């Protein structure tokens, strides 16, 4: 499309605007991925991971979950469910106890 903008209709201009906005988002994402790859490469050249340098691994526990304590118990019926042993007992833990499972049997 090699038209003069002043000769375009409103709907053509709006369509062009949407195309440009989408292209900008796509290019920004591509640039972000390239910058991340370059940063990871530079960190690796110095013997570190990018997470070690930025402290992302340490922060992940604080923002990625409610507790930074390691899990102590695992649900025998669903291994993706864990509990640190602190705070309220989750429903799956209470149910397992009611069904006769010992806490020691659920320890990780």
- Average pLDDT on 97-106 reads 92
The answer to whether 76 and 96 have CB atoms below 8 angstroms apart is yes
pLDDT in tens, 19-74: 999 999 999 999 999 999 999 999 889 888 888 888 876 655 555 555 578 889 99
Q: What is the CA radius of gyration of the chain?
A: 26
Pick 66-108's CATH classification: 3.30.40.10, 3.10.450.40, 4.10.430.10, 3.40.50.150: 4.10.430.10
Cα 104 from Cα 43, distance rounded (Å): 43
* pLDDT for res 39: 93
Residue ranges covered by each domain of the chain: 1-64, 66-108
Alpha helix segments (H runs only) across 7-107: 10-45, 50-54, 56-64, 91-98, 103-106
* pLDDT for res 79: 84
Could you give the 3-state DSSP secondary structure of residue 29? helix
Of 69 and 15, the structure prediction assigns the larger pLDDT to 15
Cα 85 from Cα 88, distance rounded (Å): 8
């Amino acid at each position: 499309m090699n038209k003069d903008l002043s000769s375009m209709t409103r709907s053509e201009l709006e369509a062009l605007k949407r195309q440009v906005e989408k292209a900008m988002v796509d290019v920004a994402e591509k640039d972000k991925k390239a910058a991340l790859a370059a940063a990871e490469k530079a960190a690796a050249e110095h013997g570190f991971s990018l997470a070690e340098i930025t402290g992302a691994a340490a922060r992940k526990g604080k923002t990625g979950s409610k507790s930074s304590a390691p899990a102590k118990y695992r649900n025998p019926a669903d291994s993706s469910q864990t509990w640190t042993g602190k705070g309220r007992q989750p429903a799956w833990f209470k149910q397992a106890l009611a069904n006769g499972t010992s806490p020691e049997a659920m320890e990780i």
